[in-house]
Structure 1
Amino acid sequence: MAQNSRLTGFRTLTVQERREAVARESGLEPAVFDALEPGGLGVEAAEHMIENVVGVMGIPVGIATNVTVNGRDVLVPMATEEPSVVAAASNAARIARVRGGFTTSSTGPVMQAQVQVVDVVDPAGARLRVLEARDELIALAASQDPKLAEVGGGVLDLTVRTVEAPGATYVVAHLVVDVRDAMGANAVNTMAEAVAPRLAEIAGGRAVLRILTNKADLRLSRARAVLDAEALGGAEIVDDMIHAYRLAAADPYRAATHNKGIMNGVSAVVLATGNDTRAVEAGAHSHAVNADGLYSSLSTFEKNADGDIVATLELPMPVGLVGGATRSHPAARAAIAVTEVTTARELGELVTAVGLAQNIAAVRALAGEGIQRGHMSLHAKNIAIAVGAAGDEVDRVVAVLISEKAFRHDRAEAVLAEIRSR
């Protein structure tokens, strides 16, 4: 991990100076950042990643600083177009450092694939027949990827459910697979397709769907942090942060935005490392539905006996270090090198810690000065650039927009015209 993630003044450095600082703390060669230059992913490489390629779209990549996970400092690449996200995560991580940073844990890298069997006349009986053939079906699935077992993974179990739907009862089998350092979609999908014909024969029906589930509730990552009350801004801020959390826990309208704040951090790290943002997002939002069927907060905020906040987050985290864009995208390889993680579990825990940091920052801002103060100040730069400001014109336009609290394109255009007319 990084020797020190507390890089004071990092935001005031030039891009080249930031690269040098990250390389120095991570023990990397500065050349690793060549992959993050415009054109780092060429059209020819992109042609091999997706279909009908016409170009490549750039997304800014920033470094979250101050992050400490399980006592070790780490510098975290984040790919996002939204202002304030990287700064907010860094600031919350700085507050968490006061009490030791983030502590994380996780379950094994277990994914599931589903096989749906339809037209079964005796679903309950079919379920038991499939379970009786469990060893045979597991062996068939395992034979599709023998190398997975060689590295300590493989098929762990086969479970069977009956699912009631309008006009039908489906027999649904789940293959439970330890996918090691892969995200695992290709492995479990291949297994599901291989066992489907035999499984349908045993059940006495017809196989339709044979695909993984993104409800990765057997592959969980967890993070927690103790937030010093004084560092947060005092007892009143603490109480108001607890109120903000409680509304998110009770009200789906608040929970949707509360959880979006978490995903601002999560998706930025997942994207930077070449993982599947949609899979992680789908799993997270399904996990947000509580036992009563209510869409609720993914995180929890509690006040401990010392008056500090204990913040926790648990997420399904299907991310990997092998396969897909994690290997084929040069920027993803560079981002993973910066994090210095060596296993998919470690990456998942880091992603979850950053998601919690982002959540802490957002809730603290909402409980204090409001979200717009910092966010719109950064957004003003986007507005200035959008209306054509260049060089020192950007800072001059931004200064006026902030002083007037007028974050509008028409006002930015007028300010720029005034500057140029002098």
Structure 2
Amino acid sequence: MSKTNITSRIPGFHSMSVEARIARLAELTDLDEAAIAQLSNTGNLEVETADRMIENVVGTMNIPVGVATNLIVDGREILVPMATEESSVVAAVCNAAKQCRSAGGIATSSSGPLMIAQVQLLGVSDPENARFKILERREEIKAICDETDPVLLKFGGGFRDLEVRVLETDDGPMVITHLIVDTGDAMGANAVNSMAEAVGPRIEAWTGGRVLLRILSNLADRRLVRARGVWKLENIGGAEVRDGMLSAFRFADADPYRAATHNKGIMNGVTAVVMASGNDTRAIEAGAHAFAARSGRYRSLTRWEGDAEGNLVGLLEMPMAVGLVGGATKIHPTAQTALKIMGVSKADELARVIAAVGLAQNFAALKVLATTGVQKGHMSLHAKNIAAMAGALGEEVELVAAKLKEMGKVRVDIAERLLAELRGGKA
């Protein structure tokens, strides 16, 4: 039984060592020795590194890292580490990539590493006049931004453009300034936020208004990446399979209820590579879903067509604000290893690989939905997890999983019965 007099008020918790935090947590919540040992085991991430990454660290959460094979991206053979807890995700990419190899794999392109910082101006009675005043100061704004981050400027980045919008809201008109910044190989949040902070007081002086928010936008629609793949009819099972996949796509593009799960499938692959590379999964997810709704209706991130030869063509376009410098990408040793495996040296290269994986993931999902159904393939791969949940150990896992797949019923209660029968037979 856990203690009933627990308090979440722990003065000085943030300044304790990790060991002391764990001990205090155990005291408050009655953790047993096994739980304490589990928290204390930080795996391949040193506890000192973990403690520098976030606040109040008491442990780590290890996620399996698999490697997607068979991928050809822009003519280059590439192995892609993917960090995910969901079975069938890595296998799906491998299968999809294998089926488009004869057509040359997946081609990609990008719009460049441009990020947007927003400066919110309130309290102006003449918003259009204020808008023009800000636009007239473009060169001054450029100088302020570039002076804010000279290192970024040194490596070829910096201020690129200026947009100013008048936004009608329930609080009246707001004047929103967009700073368009080339962030190079960085994701760029810190750089563009600093620029917005520096520009804010000057906008107030020019317009007589009041600046409130100064923050980047995760709808990085100036930082798009695109992936295109062709799957030949003979490799996917013929025209019937192609037409079924096209119908499944059209359903997703027309119905937001279907699109939500359709795009979640794309993000299964995207997020797994973003995670493995130490990038910000939440930023990518937020940008992707906002981009999917840019028309005013939530739609598919992908497009699917038949080409003149009848082959299936897949296209993916989405924001991809990832970086190779700064954040967990530079700190986490597994992220560094993942980048080495991929052989990427530029943020743009990483973004393109991620898009290719997202497109392959979507192909795999559409194909299984249009043919065997999602449960058959997914639950087949999930059988080992179910066997382990039932208490199977060692070789028992494979034996119970094989029987579950043979029966076509991947359930914990059935796995428990099979395990009991297996152990009874050994007695």
Q: What is the TM-score with the length of structure 1 in the denominator? A: 0.90
Partner in structure 2 of residue 135 of structure 1:
139
Give the Cα–Cα distance (whole angstroms) in 2 for the partners of residues 84 and 136 of structure 1.
Answer: 53
Give the Cα–Cα distance (whole angstroms) in 1 for the partners of residues 44 and 315 of structure 2.
Answer: 37
Equivalent of residue 162 in structure 1, options 143, 146, 166: 166
Partner in structure 2 of residue 394 of structure 1:
397
Shift of 1:91: 0.4
Partner in structure 1 of residue 358 of structure 2:
355
Equivalent of residue 308 in structure 1, options 306, 311, 315: 311
Partner in structure 2 of residue 107 of structure 1:
111
Give the Cα–Cα distance (whole angstroms) in 2 for the partners of residues 215 and 366 of structure 1.
Answer: 30
Assess if the C-alpha contact under 8 Å between 2:138 and 2:162 holds in 1: yes
User: Is 1:217 equivalent to 2:221 in the alignment?
Assistant: yes
Shift of 1:108: 1.1
Give the Cα–Cα distance (whole angstroms) in 1 for the partners of residues 114 and 342 of structure 2.
Answer: 23
Equivalenced residues, count: 385
Assess if the C-alpha contact under 8 Å between 1:245 and 1:301 holds in 2: yes
Partner in structure 2 of residue 18 of structure 1:
none
The residue type paired with residue 234 of structure 1 is G
Shift of 1:38: 6.7
Q: Within 5 A, what are the aligned runs for 1:170-319?
A: 170-291=174-295, 293-319=296-322
Assess if the C-alpha contact under 8 Å between 2:156 and 2:184 holds in 1: yes
Deviations, residues 274-332 of structure 1 (Å, cap 9, x unaligned): 000111111111111143x1110110110111111010000100000100000000000
Partner in structure 1 of residue 91 of structure 2:
87
The residue type paired with residue 381 of structure 1 is K
Q: What CA RMSD, in Å, does the superposition of the two structures yield over aligned residues?
A: 1.1
Equivalent of residue 372 in structure 1, options 366, 371, 375: 375
Give the Cα–Cα distance (whole angstroms) in 2 for the partners of residues 331 and 257 of structure 1.
Answer: 29
Shift of 1:167: 2.9
Partner in structure 2 of residue 39 of structure 1:
43
Give the Cα–Cα distance (whole angstroms) in 2 for the partners of residues 65 and 38 of structure 1.
Answer: 28
Shift of 1:396: 1.1
Give the Cα–Cα distance (whole angstroms) in 1 for the partners of residues 305 and 197 of structure 2.
Answer: 45
Larger Rg: 2
Structure 1: runs of 5+ lacking an equivalent = 1-36
Shift of 1:148: 1.1
Structure 2: runs of 5+ lacking an equivalent = 1-40
Partner in structure 1 of residue 419 of structure 2:
416
Give the Cα–Cα distance (whole angstroms) in 2 for the partners of residues 388 and 365 of structure 1.
Answer: 30
Larger deviation, residues 216-225 vs 135-144 = 135-144
Greater relative contact order (CA < 8 Å, ≥ 6 in sequence): 1
User: Is 1:60 equivalent to 2:69 in the alignment?
Assistant: no
Deviations, residues 306-363 of structure 1 (Å, cap 9, x unaligned): 1110100001000001000000000000000100011111110000000000000000
Percent identical among aligned pairs is: 57
Assess if the C-alpha contact under 8 Å between 2:122 and 2:209 holds in 1: yes
**Tell me, what secondary structure is at the counterpart of 2:161?**
strand
Partner in structure 2 of residue 323 of structure 1:
326
Assess if the C-alpha contact under 8 Å between 2:42 and 2:59 holds in 1: no
Is the alpha carbon distance of 1:69 and 1:236 closer, same or farther for their aligned partners in structure 2, counting shifts above 3 Å?
A: same
Partner in structure 2 of residue 97 of structure 1:
101
Give the Cα–Cα distance (whole angstroms) in 2 for the partners of residues 412 and 243 of structure 1.
Answer: 36
Give the Cα–Cα distance (whole angstroms) in 1 for the partners of residues 107 and 252 of structure 2.
Answer: 23
Give the Cα–Cα distance (whole angstroms) in 2 for the partners of residues 38 and 232 of structure 1.
Answer: 43
**Tell me, what secondary structure is at the counterpart of 1:143?**
helix
Is the alpha carbon distance of 1:38 and 1:394 closer, same or farther for their aligned partners in structure 2, counting shifts above 3 Å?
A: farther
Q: What is the TM-score with the length of structure 2 in the denominator? A: 0.89
